[in-house]
Chain A
Amino acid sequence: MKRRTAIKQFLIIAGGIAILPACSNDAKKASIALQYLNIDADQEMLLAELVEAIIPKGDSKGAKDLNLHLFVLKMIDDCHPEEEQKKFMEGLKEMDVLSQKRYNTIFVSTAPEEKQELLHAIQSEDQDTAKVAEFYRLTKRRTIQGFMNSKYVMTDLKKYELVPGRYNGYFPVTKDLS
């Protein structure tokens, strides 16, 4: 048991799953072990701010609290083809260029309203955002997936039932408050 506990402390919990931390203690490197993506600490922070802008903290936890930026990285690293990983990296690098151009500052330093404005611009395919479009699409999709399938959402906000023990094919909608 002691060994288990020790291992647990070394794992990073992202949305409920444990991810192996990076071997290196280099502060400039990403905090989780990745096979293909080469992410530095600044990029990791940018991604954390981006997922938080997509699903922010409010009355309940936001994406950053749930380490969803690490979940996004893990999924892009393990589940996407090389060309998408490339576009992801290109877009990630382009985010600060875009932010500088629009707000004269890097993305993490922009105000919350500016972040939302930028996200809307990307989604409405403004001309100068084309280079980040694919990166943003992938990040948003994986952020939503990580959020909805996080332990926090599945236990505290919307109960996932492992063992329903019932089926009703005529469940009245009026009774349903979800």
Chain B
Amino acid sequence: MDIFRLLKTLVKKKDKMPNLNIDSVKDRTFDAIVIGSGISGGWAAKEFTEKGLKTLLLERGRDVKHIVDYPTTNLYPYEFTHRGEIPLKIQNENPIVNRCYAFHEDAMHFFVKDNEHPYVQEKPFDWIRGYQVGGKSLLWARQTQRWSDYDFEGPARDGFAVDWPIRYQDIAPWYSYVEKFAGISGHADGLKELPDGEFLPAYPLNAVEDYFKGVMKKKYNGTRHVISARCAHLSKPNAIHMEQGRVQCQNRTLCQRGCPFGGYFSSNASTIPWAQKTGNLTLRPHSVVHSILYDESKGKAIGVKVIDTQKKEEIEFYAKVIFVNAAAFNSNLILLNSKSNRFPNGLGNDSGLLGKYVAFHNYSARISAEYDGLKEFKTDGRNPAGGGYIPRFRNVFKQETDFLRGYAAGFSAYRGSDSDMSATGLELKEQLLNPKLGPWRVGSHMMGETIPKAASTLTLDENQKDEWGIPLLKINIDYDDNDVKMKADYIEQLTEMFTEAGFTNIKPNTASQAPGLDIHEMGGVRMGKDPKTSLLNKWNQLHHCPNVFVTDGACMTSTSTQNPSLTYMAFSARAVDYAVKELRKNNL
């Protein structure tokens, strides 16, 4: 850089530059800043850059380039030293992340280890995180269902939290918008409680899943449905997907390793490279956001304070608009830590509700069984959708149980081989190499709505800080009586449904798990109509700091039962569209 220009800049901007960095303020000024490159941040970055805004995408972890940085993606089972198992030493050092279903030798490098970012559990909470470019979009279970008005109207109808400031019609076009680009496979089932989307062909149910669907339809007069799980896989890619460099899903079901085909949607395979193609994206890994900078004289946020984790130094970046997509709890953490004279309790927190009313999905029950019929069939190949999905059937159209809301459920059937391993020698070898087909096995897990409560909180620890000087997050959240009743109902109903289908050896599994393992933590920065009882308005914009938007799980007023990522994508695209229009009207 020209030394005279640098000096001139330094003199001119000195008062605004607490950290004298070699970059000029101008070089650190963008039109938009997006904090977090996971599923919602990737969408925000794509939308901003496509609309011509110079965008800085901040990621606290390392870079993960599509394909290049998927080291295990093409490994055969025998190429893993421990055949997929995590060595005991690592398990013992990481009791939290070790409880995650996907934490195995093939994908352990995409998970945050327990000691990397500690937090305080006022009550047990397993916080599962992915700190890298793409975040947890590399690891997600890829299930995608739309919300309906039976979900958005839940809090108002049942008297909890606050009313959502939007309804289905507000977000429906944005569901369509993101579905077309991401690629969602599913069947148009015509259900009011689970609206259809812009679907690629569904992955069909298998023989036993189909059979169960039929039995349920008959037994419950069309009120309990078993549908093909809707998922973010390219069953049959369109031109828009090919343009992203993605091709048809190859049914590997090794998704957590990162997919070399781009067969499933991730920020890495889709939105980030798309944003990069516009020439408007600056992707900055190793950038932990400390706080959002608020300028009292301007009455708005002016940028963010970042800690460069490699250079171990603070650096500020500036923009007209800031999107917070750090993943639900970390978005809360950033806002809570963004203190100023105007906002001593966290950015936009006049209501005092920041960090409150957090919730999650109740995944604490499962049930399995066997089916003796349909032995003329088995499955061949693998189903990336995972099988079937049972949309919520409890309390949908009216309140009918002694608990509020309800649960959706996964349902899948699989026929594996039963090897008799009791023999030894050549007899054992023969059995192993020529296993007999076992019976069909079926399984289901609950995905229950939980009620956000004032007592469920995220706060900052006053004494303990992480290695970047940021206070540790204190998590205080637990199951309640409603969750207990709902769980019992799930077991009771599924047992009845399985019995009705003639399944045998029905085994409920109610071994509880701490909240968090669902990886669907939500809320704390909820949307609402009234600034006194909510943080964000209907455009995901902070009521009291309008150039800051939150479009990840933190914005959720209630949780409903759907897997939430698709809704975050839709919120992100919708909010960027609004923000850019407001910017052009000089309203931000």
Contacts and interface: CB of A to CB of B under 8 A. Distances in A.
B83 A167 contact: no
Given A149-B78, A166-B251, A171-B379, A158 B203 contact: no
Given A79-B87, A144-B421, A167 B77 contact: no
Given A169-B206, A173-B378, A164 B251 contact: yes
18 contacts: A15-B78, A17-B81, A53-B424, A54-B424, A55-B425, A60-B429, A74-B82, A75-B83, A78-B81, A144-B428, A147-B432, A164-B251, A165-B251, A167-B203, A167-B251, A171-B379, A173-B376, A173-B377
B252 A163 contact: yes
Interface in B420-442: 421-422, 424-426, 428-429, 432-434, 437
A45 B207 CA distance: 49
A17 B82 CA distance: 9
A164 B252 contact: yes
A145 B76 CA distance: 14
The 3 closest A-B pairs by CB, nearest first: A169-B206, A16-B78, A171-B380
B76 A171 contact: no
Interface string B371-395: 0000111111111100000000000
A157 B433 contact: yes
B378 A176 contact: yes
Given A119-B424, A147-B429, 10 more contacts: A17-B80, A54-B425, A58-B429, A79-B87, A81-B88, A144-B432, A157-B433, A164-B250, A168-B379, A169-B383
A144 B426 CA distance: 13
Contacts of B210: 169
Given A151-B76, A167-B381, A55 B432 contact: yes
B83 A171 contact: no
B87, B89, B204 interface centre (most CB from chain A within 10 Å): B87
B74 interface: yes
Contacts of B376: 172-174
B272 interface: no
B337 to A, nearest CB: 40
A144 B207 CA distance: 31
B89 A78 contact: yes
Interface of A: 15-17, 19, 53-56, 58, 60, 62, 74-75, 78-81, 116, 119-120, 123, 140, 144-151, 153-154, 157-158, 160-174, 176, 178
Contacts of B421: 140, 144
A58 B251 contact: no
A21 B77 CA distance: 21
Contacts, number: 130
B83 A145 contact: yes
Interface residues of B, number: 45
Contacts of B209: 169
Contact of B74 (A55, A162, A168, A178): A162
A56 B426 contact: yes
Contact of A172 (B87, B252, B377): B377
B205 A169 contact: yes
Nearest to A15: B78
A16 B76 CA distance: 9
B15 interface: no
A10 to B, nearest CB: 16
B378 A149 contact: no
Contact of B78 (A74, A116, A154, A167): A154
Nearest to A80: B88
A58, A161, A170 interface centre (most CB from chain B within 10 Å): A170
B76 A160 contact: yes
A119 B379 contact: no
B79 interface: yes
A169 B204 contact: yes
Interface string B52-79: 0000000000000000000000101111
Contact of B437 (A16, A58, A145, A173): A173
Interface string B249-271: 01110100000000000000000
Contacts of B496: none
B330 to A, nearest CB: 32
Contacts of A168: 379-381
B207, B209, B375 interface centre (most CB from chain A within 10 Å): B207
B381 A170 contact: no
A170 B207 contact: yes
Contacts of A55: 425, 428-429, 432
A62, A74, A120, A169 interface centre (most CB from chain B within 10 Å): A169
Contacts of B384: 167
B380 A167 contact: yes
A53, A81, A154, A167 interface centre (most CB from chain B within 10 Å): A167
Nearest to B426: A58
Contact of A151 (B78, B82, B207, B378): B78
B433 A119 contact: no
Given A151-B78, A167-B379, A116 B424 contact: yes
Contacts of A53: 424-425
